[in-house]
C-alpha cells in the first residue's frame, strides 16, 4: 500500500501512545490522492513530528509557549474552541493575533515560537478543503493530548494557521527576526534598533524626539521646559552635509565626524540615521555605548547578523558610536583626557568593522567625536581613524551664518525676528566663539524669547560682553532663567543647592569607575 510503503521507505511510522497506528480514513484518502501529494503528506507529517518531538514528548519550551499562545488566542478569539463548522474562518484573524502575541515573547521564547511557525509551514501540506486531512488531525490530537488542551481548540488554531497566506507567514517570521535581532542588545554596551524602535526610544538619540515624521530638539537648553520642542533646522547647507555623510558611508563604509562641542554633530548623526531608515535603506542600527568589557559579545552579534544573512534580508547594519551627548555639551566641560573605555571601544569598532574588508561592505560605521577627545586619543588610534575623518571645523560645515540664523529664529519662539538681525547675531557668535556655536545660537534664541521680549540687540550685547567665554554666557543665561538680578537671595539658594549636590556628584563618578 502506498501510504504504508511511503512511511517504511522514510524509516518512519505512525504511532498513537507508543503503538503503531494506521487510520482507515488515511488509507481511503491516500487511495483517492495523487502519488506526489501522498509523498508530500508523509514528508510533512514526519518533519512536524520530529521538529516538535511529538512521539517522544512535546518539547517543554515549545509546549509552554504554544500553551500560552493558545490561551492568548482564546482570550482574543473566544470562538476558537467551538466546533469547526461554526468558527468563522479563524485564519482571517489568527495572523493579527499571532503578531500581537510575538511582541510579548522573551528572547528564549522566540526560538520556541519559531519552531512552531516552522512546523505550521509544513502543516499547510496537510490542509484539505478548508480543514486538516487525517494526518493533520492526528498531529492536532497529539498536541492536544500532550498539552492537556481540548482537541477542538488545538485543531481550530492549526486550521487557522494553515489558512494564512504565505505573505502573512512571512510577516510573522519577520516579526520574530526583528525581536530576536533586537534581543542581542547588551545593557550599557550596545542596543539594536529597527525603524520603529529608533523613532520611539529617546535613548537612541538623547535630547532629540521624532514625532509625526518630524525631527525635534527636546526641551529648552540648560533648564528649559522639557515640554517645549524645536524643529531641527535643516537648511540647504545642513542637508548638503547630511548628503556628504551618506555618500561617504556608501563609498567607504565608515565616517568619523569630528568637530567642536555643541555645533550639532549628534543632531547630524541622528538626522543621517533617520534619513536611511525613512528611505528604506536601513534595517537596523546599533547604538554603541561602551564595548570595553563586551567586545567579544559585540563581534559575536556582528557574526550572528551576517551569518544568518540578515544583511540580504533586511539590509546593511549601521553602527553608531557617539560618546558625547547633548548633556556633555550643556555642561560646557572641556575635557582633554579621553574618558575610560572610549579608546578600547574605538579600537574594537575599527578592528572588526573598518579594517575587516568582508564586514565593512555590509556593516557601516558612523563615529562622532568632539575635537578635544579626538586630539587626546593615542596617536596610533588617530592614524587608524585618519582616512575616515570628516572634520566639520576644517571644512567649515555648520559654521554657517545662514544656518545659525535659522537656529536663533527657531528658538526665539513667539517672536518675529528680522532675518538680517538674526544673521548679524549669528556672525557675532561665530566671530567670538571657537566652539559650541550651535548651542550658543540656541541659548541666544531662547533668551530673546524668554527674557528680552524679542529684542535681539540685548542678546547681542551679552554675546559681546562674554568675550568668547562660553561659561560666562551660560552663567548669564542661568541668571536670567532664575531671575537672580531681581532677588539676590536666589543666588544664595542656588549656591547652597549646588554645594549640597557636589559630594553626591563626586560619589556617583567614583562609583561609576568600578
Per-residue pLDDT, 330: 39
d(CA 488, CA 422): 32
Per-residue confidence (pLDDT) for residue 487, from 0 to 100: 63
Rounded average pLDDT over 2-31: 83
Tell me the mean pLDDT in the region 34-60: 88
The span from the CA of 258 to the CA of 21, in Å, is: 72
Does residue 223 have a pLDDT over 60? no
Distance CA 487, CA 497 (A): 16
Helix (H) or strand (E) holding 408: helix 401-411
Contact indicator for 272, 278 with CB cutoff of 8 Å: no
Cα gap 217→232, rounded to integer Å: 6
| Beta bridge mates, 320 | 287, 366
Q: State residue 222's pLDDT score.
A: 46
* Per-residue pLDDT at 355: 94
Element of type H or E holding 19:
strand 19-20
Q: What's the mean per-residue pLDDT of the chain?
A: 84
**Sign of the alpha-carbon dihedral angle for 45, 46, 51, 57:** positive
Q: Which pLDDT band, with edges at 50, 70 and 90, does 513 fall under?
A: very low
* 3-state secondary structure at position 390: strand
Sorting pLDDT into bands at 50, 70 and 90, what band is 219? Answer: low
CA distance 389 to 377: 14
Query: Could you give the C-alpha distances from 373 to 341, 343, 444, in angstroms and in order?
Result: 12, 10, 26
**CA angle in degrees (0–180, nearest 5) for 462-468-471:** 80
User: SS3 helix, strand, coil % of the chain, rounded to 5?
Assistant: 60, 10, 25
Residue with cell 515560537: 113
pLDDT higher than 70, residue 166: yes
Low-confidence winner among 172-181, 287-296, 369-378, 485-494 (lowest mean pLDDT)? 485-494
Phi first, then psi: what are they for 258, rounded to 5°? -125, 135
- Which CATH code of 3.30.565.10, 3.40.50.300, 3.40.50.720, 3.30.56.10 fits the domain covering 184-395? 3.40.50.300
Residue 22 has a pLDDT of 86
Q: Check: CB of residue 220 under 8 Å from CB of residue 410.
A: no
Residue range 415-465, pLDDT digits in tens: 999 999 999 999 999 998 887 888 889 889 988 987 778 999 988 998 888
CB count within 10 Å of CB 380 equals 9
**Domain coordinates in residue numbering, the chain:** 2-180, 184-395, 401-482, 486-514
- Cβ(26)–Cβ(128) below 8 Å: no
* Overall residue count recorded for the chain in this entry: 514
* Residue 33 phi, psi dihedral angles, 5° rounding: -115, 165
DSSP strands (E only) in 105-239: 127-128, 131-132, 190-193, 208-211, 214-218, 229-231
Number of other residues whose CB lies within 10 A of the CB of residue 279 = 9
Chain-centre distance for alpha carbon 387: 28
Report the sign of the C-alpha dihedral through residues 443, 444, 446, 451, in that order. Answer: positive
CA distance 512 to 342: 15
CA gap 194, 181 in Å, rounded: 9
CA distance 437 to 349: 30
User: Which pLDDT tens digit goes with each residue over 63-78?
Assistant: 899 999 988 888 877 6
Dist CA 223 CA 219 (whole Å) = 8
Give 333's pLDDT tier (boundaries 50, 70, 90). Answer: very low
Using one digit for the tens of pLDDT, what is the confidence trace for 481-504? 666 555 666 556 555 555 554 554
What's the whole-model pTM score?
0.80
pLDDT recorded at residue 122: 92
CB burial readout 350-374, b (16+ within 10 A) else e: bebbbeeeebbebbbbbbbbbbbbb
Cell 522514510, located at residue:
10
* Amino acid 485: pLDDT: 57
Sort strands 317-321 and 284-288 into parallel, antiparallel or unpaired: parallel
Cell reading at 62: 515549545
Specify which residues 15 forms β-bridges with: 20
Cα–Cα distance for residue pair 407/444, rounded to 1 Å = 9
End-to-end CA distance of the chain: 72
**pLDDT for res 504:** 47
Provide the greatest CA pair distance for the chain. Answer: 101
CA 312 vs. chain centroid, Å, equals 18
Amino acid at each position: 500500500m502506498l501510504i504504508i510503503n511511503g512511511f517504511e521507505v522514510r524509516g518512519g511510522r505512525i504511532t498513537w501512545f507508543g503503538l503503531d497506528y494506521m487510520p482507515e480514513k488515511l488509507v481511503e484518502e491516500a487511495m483517492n490522492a495523487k502519488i506526489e501529494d501522498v509523498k508530500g503528506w508523509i514528508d510533512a507529517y514526519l518533519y512536524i513530528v520530529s521538529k516538535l518531538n511529538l512521539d517522544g514528548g512535546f518539547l517543554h519550551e515549545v509546549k509552554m509557549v504554544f500553551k500560552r499562545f493558545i490561551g492568548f488566542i482564546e482570550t482574543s478569539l473566544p470562538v476558537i474552541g467551538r466546533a469547526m463548522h461554526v468558527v468563522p474562518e479563524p485564519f482571517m484573524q489568527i495572523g493579527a493575533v499571532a503578531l500581537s502575541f510575538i511582541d510579548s515573547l522573551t528572547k528564549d521564547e522566540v526560538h520556541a515560537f519559531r519552531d512552531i511557525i516552522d512546523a505550521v509551514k509544513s502543516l499547510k501540506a496537510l490542509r484539505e478543503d478548508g480543514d486538516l486531512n487525517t494526518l493533520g488531525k492526528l498531529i492536532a490530537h497529539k498536541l492536544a493530548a500532550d498539552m492537556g488542551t481540548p482537541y477542538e481548540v488545538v485543531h481550530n488554531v492549526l486550521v487557522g494557521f494553515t489558512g494564512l497566506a504565505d505573505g502573512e507567514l512571512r510577516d510573522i517570521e519577520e516579526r520574530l527576526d526583528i525581536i530576536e535581532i533586537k534581543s542581542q542588545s547588551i545593557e550599557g554596551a550596545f542596543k539594536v534598533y529597527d525603524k520603529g524602535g529608533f523613532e520611539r526610544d529617546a535613548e537612541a538619540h538623547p535630547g532629540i524626539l521624532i514625532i509625526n515624521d518630524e525631527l525635534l530638539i527636546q526641551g529648552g537648553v540648560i533648564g528649559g521646559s522639557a515640554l517645549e520642542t524645536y524643529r531641527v533646522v535643516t537648511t540647504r547647507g545642513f542637508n548638503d552635509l547630511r548628503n556628504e555623510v551618506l555618500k561617504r558611508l556608501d563609498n567607504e563604509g565608515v565616517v568619523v565626524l569630528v568637530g567642536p562641542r555643541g555645533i550639532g554633530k549628534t543632531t547630524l548623526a541622528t538626522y543621517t540615521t533617520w534619513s536611511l531608515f525613512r528611505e528604506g535603506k536601513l534595517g537596523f542600527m546599533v547604538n554603541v555605548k561602551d564595548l570595553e568589557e563586551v567586545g567579544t559579545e559585540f563581534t559575536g552579534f556582528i557574526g550572528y547578523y551576517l551569518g544568518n544573512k540578515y544583511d540580504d534580508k533586511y539590509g546593511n547594519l549601521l553602527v553608531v558610536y557617539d560618546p558625547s551627548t547633548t548633556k556633555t555639551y550643556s555642561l560646557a566641560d572641556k575635557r582633554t583626557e579621553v574618558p575610560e573605555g572610549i579608546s578600547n571601544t574605538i579600537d574594537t569598532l575599527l578592528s572588526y568593522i573598518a579594517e575587516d574588508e568582508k564586514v565593512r561592505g555590509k556593516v557601516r560605521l558612523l563615529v562622532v567625536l568632539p575635537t578635544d577627545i579626538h586630539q587626546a586619543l593615542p596617536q596610533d588610534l588617530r592614524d587608524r581613524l585618519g582616512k575616515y575623518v570628516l572634520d566639520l571645523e576644517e571644512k567649515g560645515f555648520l559654521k554657517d551664518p545662514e544656518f545659525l540664523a535659522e537656529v536663533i529664529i527657531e528658538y526665539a519662539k513667539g517672536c518675529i525676528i528680522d532675518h538680517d538681525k538674526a544673521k548679524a547675531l549669528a556672525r557675532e557668535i561665530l566671530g567670538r566663539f571657537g566652539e559650541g556655536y550651535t548651542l550658543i545660537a540656541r541659548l541666544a534664541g531662547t533668551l530673546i524669547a524668554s527674557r528680552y521680549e524679542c529684542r535681539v540687540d540685548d542678546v547681542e550685547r551679552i554675546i559681546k560682553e562674554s568675550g568668547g567665554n562660553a561659561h560666562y554666557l551660560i552663567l548669564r543665561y542661568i541668571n536670567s532663567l532664575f531671575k537672580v538680578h531681581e532677588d539676590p537671595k536666589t543666588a544664595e539658594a542656588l549656591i547652597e543647592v549646588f554645594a549640597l549636590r557636589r559630594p553626591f556628584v563626586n560619589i556617583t563618578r567614583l562609583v561609576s569607575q568600578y
